[in-house]
Amino acid sequence: MRHVEIVEITSRVLGARCTIAAAGGVAVVVDAGAGVGAEVLRVADERGLRIVAVLATHGHADHTWDAGPLTARLGVPLLIHAADAYRLDDPFGTLGVLGDAPPGGEGALAQVLRLAGLDPAAYAPPAQVVTFGGTPGPDGRSADEVLDLDGVTVVARHAPGHTEGSTIFLLDGPVALTGDVVFAGTIGRTDLPGGDDLVMSRTLREVVEHLPHDARLLPGHGPATLLSKELRHNPYLG
């Protein structure tokens, strides 16, 4: 894998991390959360980057909200695990209690969007979606898939538990974009639709703990960390 330069952008909705990964003037965007699109375009223009794809670690709306307009503007696809692609058409309904609107009001997702100055009704799904993952094996996980995106190589490692299609993306460095699977000191929640405690436990044991121990972890929210540190201090690992 070629050396990859990382640029991080934080969404003003739930602090979701958007990552631009670039190599040789070519870039991919991971997790185009709400309100990040303009900053992604500014960074790409400033650094002379040609964005060839947008990727999603999973299908929750705080990680995919700007994927539609951004992919349309750039003329590129959104890549997401096949098991989570259905979420793109229903960002509120697939979030369970966070998306549900109580009688006479708005759900939590709509509320945080409004607080960030965004219109909950303005969501547009990506027109061009490419899925990876295929048929899961006996353990419920699909095999690793190497995505060669015009010179930027990304390994997509299925890591279900937070959602059915949650994926960890591995970059040269080594760097692991963990989405909402594991954070600094904790892990992703499993009580939303598609979440599963037992599946998450297996993912932590069989996927996260076997990432390169010197990997830098870039979670979907919160500070970056190191796998070696998490194996020592994260109560859900090791």
Report all structural domains of the chain as residue ranges with CATH numbers, in order of start.
Answer: 5-233 (3.60.15.10)
- pLDDT of 67 > 80? The answer is yes
98: left (phi over 0), alpha (psi -120 to 50) or beta: alpha
Give the pLDDT confidence of 85-144 residue by residue, as tens digits: 999 999 999 999 999 887 767 899 999 999 999 999 999 999 999 999 988 888 889 999
Which of 145, 163, 141, 164 lies closest to 155, judged by CA? 145
pLDDT band at 220 (very low <50, low <70, confident <90, very high): very high
**If pLDDT is split at 50, 70 and 90, which confidence band does 60 have?**
very high
Q: In what order do the strands lie in the sheet with 175-179?
A: 145-149, 152-158, 167-171, 175-179, 216-219, 225-226
End-to-end distance of the chain based on CA atoms, in angstroms?
Answer: 28
pTM of the model: 0.96
pLDDT confidence of residue 208: 97
pLDDT at 136: 84
Region 179-202: mean pLDDT is: 97
How far apart (Å, rounded) are the C-alpha atoms in residues 153 and 171? 7
Least confident segment among 22-31, 34-43, 129-138, 182-191 = 129-138
Q: Each residue of 34-55: pLDDT tens digit?
A: 999 999 999 999 999 999 999 9
pLDDT at 1: 46
User: Measured between alpha carbons, how far is 53 from 130 in angstroms, rounded to an integer?
Assistant: 10
Residue 2's pLDDT band, with cuts at 50, 70 and 90, is low
Over range 214-222, report the average pLDDT: 98
Residue type, position 188, single letter: G
At 233 the pLDDT is: 97
Q: What percent of the chain has pLDDT over 90?
A: 90
For residues 220-224, average pLDDT:
98
Average of per-residue pLDDT values in the chain = 95
- Tokens representing 67? 């994927």
Question: What pLDDT shows up at residue 103?
Answer: 72
pLDDT tens for 156-179 read: 999 999 999 999 999 998 999 999
